[in-house]
Amino acid sequence: MDTFLRAVTAREIESHGNHDHARGRCRAQLHQLEREILETQKRLEELQGRHAQVECDLRRLGTPIAALLIGDHGCSIACVPLILEKVGLAHMSQVASTCKHLQAAAMEVGKEWAILCEGRSLAPFRCAHDILRLPDGEFGVVQFFPQSSPYHNAAASDAIRTIPPPGCAARTLGPPGTVPGCTNGVTSAVCITDFAAPGSCTLILADRNNHRVQKISADLGEPLEWAAVPGYPTHLCLADGELFVAVDGNSFGPHSTRGDSRIEVLDPCTLQFVRRFGGRGSGRGTLESPKATAVHRGCCYVADCGNHRVAIFTRAGQFLRSVGDGPGALPGTLMHPRAIAIVREHLVVSGYRKERYRATDENESYWASRVIYSLQVLTLSGEARQMLDVKSELFSLRVIDQKLYAPSQHQVFYWRIHGTPAGDAQTSVCVN
Q: List all residues 6 or more positions away from 245 whose beta carbon is below 8 Å from its beta carbon.
A: 206, 213, 229, 233, 235, 236, 263, 264, 265, 266
Q: Which of 62-71, 84-93, 114-123, 248-257 has the lowest mean pLDDT?
A: 62-71
Candidate from 118-127, 288-297, 316-325 with smallest mean pLDDT? 118-127
Task: Please tell me the predicted confidence (pLDDT) of residue 174.
Answer: 67
Question: What is the pLDDT confidence band of residue 147, given thresholds at 50, 70 and 90?
Answer: low
Report pLDDT digits (tens) over 232-288.
999 999 988 899 999 988 654 444 444 488 999 999 988 999 999 988 888 888 998
Please give the backbone phi and psi of residue 298, each rounded to the nearest 5 degrees, phi first.
80, 5
pLDDT at position 349 over 80: yes
Cα separation, 16 vs 352, whole angstroms? 73
Q: What is the mean pLDDT of residues 220-230?
A: 83
The pLDDT of residue 192 is above 70: yes
Domain spans of the chain, in order of start: 2-112, 116-430
Give the residue, 202 or 172, on which the prediction is more confident. Answer: 202
**What is residue 429's predicted lDDT score, i.e. its pLDDT?**
34
The larger pLDDT score, comparing residue 278 to residue 7, is at: 278
22 versus 371: the higher-pLDDT residue is 371
Report how far residue 146's alpha carbon sits from residue 236's, in angstroms, rounded to the nearest whole number. Answer: 19
Distance separating alpha carbons of residues 185 and 302, to the nearest angstrom = 21
Asked if pLDDT for residue 7 goes beyond 60, the answer is: no
Handedness of CA 370, 371, 374, 378 (dihedral sign): positive
- Whole-number CA gyration radius for the chain: 29
Give the contacts of 119 (CB within 8 A, at least 6 positions apart).
388, 390, 413, 414, 415, 430, 431, 432
Would the pLDDT of 319 be above 90?
Answer: yes
Tens of pLDDT, residue by residue over 150-168, are 555 555 566 777 765 444 5
Using DSSP, state whether 266 is helix, strand or coil: strand
- pLDDT attached to residue 80: 55
Q: Report pLDDT for 98.
A: 57
* DSSP, residue by residue, 44-73: HHHHHHHHHHHHHHHHHH-HHHHHHHEETT
pLDDT at 11: 57
Q: Could you report the per-residue pLDDT of 406-428, keeping only the tens digit for each? A: 998 888 888 888 766 665 534 33
Least confident window among 86-95, 202-211, 237-246, 264-273? 86-95
For residue 379, pLDDT over 60 is answered with yes
pLDDT at site 362: 74
Mean pLDDT of the chain: 75
Would the pLDDT of 189 be above 70? yes
**pLDDT band at residue 295 under the 50/70/90 scheme:** very high
| Residue 201 buriedness (CB in 10 A; 0-12 / 13-18 / 19+) | middle
Amino acid at 328: G
pLDDT, residue 108, reads 55
- Residues 116-430, CATH architecture: 6 Propeller (2.120)
For CA atoms 69, 70, 73, 75, give the dihedral sign: positive
Amino acid identity at 212: R
Predicted local distance difference test score (pLDDT) of residue 90: 47
Query: How far apart are the C-alpha atoms of 317 and 298, rounded to whole Å?
Result: 11
Range among 39-53, 242-256, 319-333, 390-404 rated most confident? 390-404
Lowest mean pLDDT among 55-69, 219-233, 250-264, 281-295: 55-69
Q: In what order do the strands lie in the sheet with 170-172?
A: 128-133, 139-143, 159-163, 170-172
Are the C-beta atoms of residues 401 and 415 closer than 8 Å to each other? Answer: no
Average pLDDT for 197-201: 62
Lowest mean pLDDT among 3-17, 64-78, 133-147, 208-222: 64-78
